[in-house]
Chains A and B, each alone.
Chain A
């Protein structure tokens, strides 16, 4: 991927597919590192499955023909001297509390660091495709913070207007661009 924000979009799509009701994206940056965590309350994965998802050469992966999103992310983080972690609780094992947390830390000063890129485009694409799923986003920077939550947006919009409406996505884009410009 050419931008970390593309990895974020890709990983968040996993959460959408896992039947989550809520996805939380937390991005924290300082001078030397960038860390993001994507947390969902979806179906989760069993420990057996989880141990294989970050290994692109696992036979299970090829026979199941699952993709490369998580191995990509792990590789990109580790290439910068950062780290990657994934934790998951499968719904069939833990019916009350289930979901997945993916975290990746990147060292910004490393030559292999790929910039965050257009996070606003990622968030707009994500909300557009999220349907009824709620998204919370916060980007913490040393002296400022940009955030939004689709719950708050839905409250203002009331019933009957989907977040995917182009007018709403256009608003979100400008809202975020304003927030980043002011931040």
Chain B
């Protein structure tokens, strides 16, 4: 049974780490979470990315965040991936399964999954 007291242990383990993390996350995964995104299934996509980052123990280098409407409602759920100085990659019509694949191939492997990008969808 988890209790609030567990957070004290998390605090002790993370002391100092977060400050370093904030500056060094060179990969950002941004999930669109406006009404259209949520209705199309953005929440499980967000969770799939969070889980993948946790499972891979990459919380220091990969940040998962949310944003409002990315502006392409009919292609939701939409996810933007920023890796280092590379140009942004926009993935569309995402699912948790596709999220796992993008994580493995793009975030970990460095290879854009072209078939899920906005370019291929249009």
- Which residues in A have some Cβ–Cβ distance to B below 8 Å? 1-2, 6, 9-10, 13, 17, 67-69, 72, 118, 121-122, 124-125, 128-129, 152-153, 156-158, 160-162, 164-171, 174-175, 178, 182
B2 pairs with A171, CB closer than 8 A: yes
B contact residues around A153 at 8 Å (CB): 4, 7
> Is B24 close to A, CB under 8 A?
no
- Closest residue of chain B to A158 (Cβ to Cβ) is B11
- Tell me, in angstroms, the Cα distance from A160 to B18 when the chains sit together: 7
B35 pairs with A72, CB closer than 8 A: yes
- Closest residue of chain B to A70 (Cβ to Cβ) is B35
Q: Smallest Cβ distance from A18 to chain B, in angstroms?
A: 13
Q: Smallest Cβ distance from A180 to chain B, in angstroms?
A: 12
Known: A9-B43, A67-B34. A166 touches B54 (CB 8 A): yes
Q: Smallest Cβ distance from A67 to chain B, in angstroms?
A: 5
Number of A-B contacts (CB under 8 A): 93
B contact residues around A122 at 8 Å (CB): 43
A157 pairs with B43, CB closer than 8 A: no
- Tell me, in angstroms, the Cα distance from A175 to B4 when the chains sit together: 8
Known: A129-B66, A170-B54, A182-B1. A156 touches B7 (CB 8 A): yes
B contact residues around A1 at 8 Å (CB): 38-39
Known: A10-B38, A67-B34, A72-B35. A167 touches B5 (CB 8 A): no
Within 8 A of A (CB), among B16-60: 18-19, 33-36, 38-39, 43-44, 46-47, 50, 53-54, 59
